[in-house]
Amino acid sequence: MKNLDAIDRQLIALLQDNARMSTVALAKAVGLGRSTVQERLQRLENAGVIAQYTVRLGSAGDPLQAWLMLRYADGFSCDDVMPLLVAMPQVRLCHSVAGELDLLVLVQVDSPGELADLRERIIGFKGVDDVTTVPVLRTTLDRR
């Protein structure tokens, strides 16, 4: 694809702020006709510049995220613990790692009390020897 021009960059910025912005509103914002904007968006999608339209949650009532760092009990492995974690909707992401820890688990809950309860449930799982909890204070970069 050729380099993006100022209009393409403006359309992308508008959609990053509000992915539900209508084509008519986009056209008005950039000073072009609706069909021209539709063609540009189609070209950007076809070229892979726009991969998807998504929702970014606002900060009102931000959920609490925390990393749970698990160590397996002797004789246990990821295969033993993962089925238990997969069944928990609060578990967002798991990374099997090497070193002193065995598994990094990102969880999302509504309150510190819910985090404490979740941690206690997980430490009670057969196969889990230890859980260290690291609450996320602020996300400073997220490229996902």
- State pTM to two decimals: 0.59
Q: What mean pLDDT do residues 65-79 have?
A: 96
- Residue 16: pLDDT band by 50, 70, 90 thresholds? confident
pLDDT of the residue at 90: 95
How far apart (Å, rounded) are the C-alpha atoms in residues 81 and 87?
11
91-121 pLDDT, tens per residue? 999 999 999 999 999 999 988 999 999 999 9
20-70 pLDDT, tens per residue? 999 999 999 999 999 999 999 999 999 999 998 887 665 556 789 999 999
Q: Where are the alpha helices (DSSP H) in the chain?
A: 6-17, 23-30, 34-46, 78-86, 112-123
Asked whether residue 82 carries a pLDDT value surpassing 90, the answer given is yes
64-135: CATH topology is: Alpha-Beta Plaits (3.30.70)
- For the domain covering 6-46, report its CATH number: 1.10.10.10
> In Å, what is the CA distance from 110 to each residue of 65, 98, 125?
9, 30, 22
- Residue 1: pLDDT band by 50, 70, 90 thresholds? low
Asked whether residue 13 carries a pLDDT value surpassing 90, the answer given is no
Asked whether residue 9 carries a pLDDT value surpassing 70, the answer given is yes
Domain ranges of the chain: 6-46, 64-135
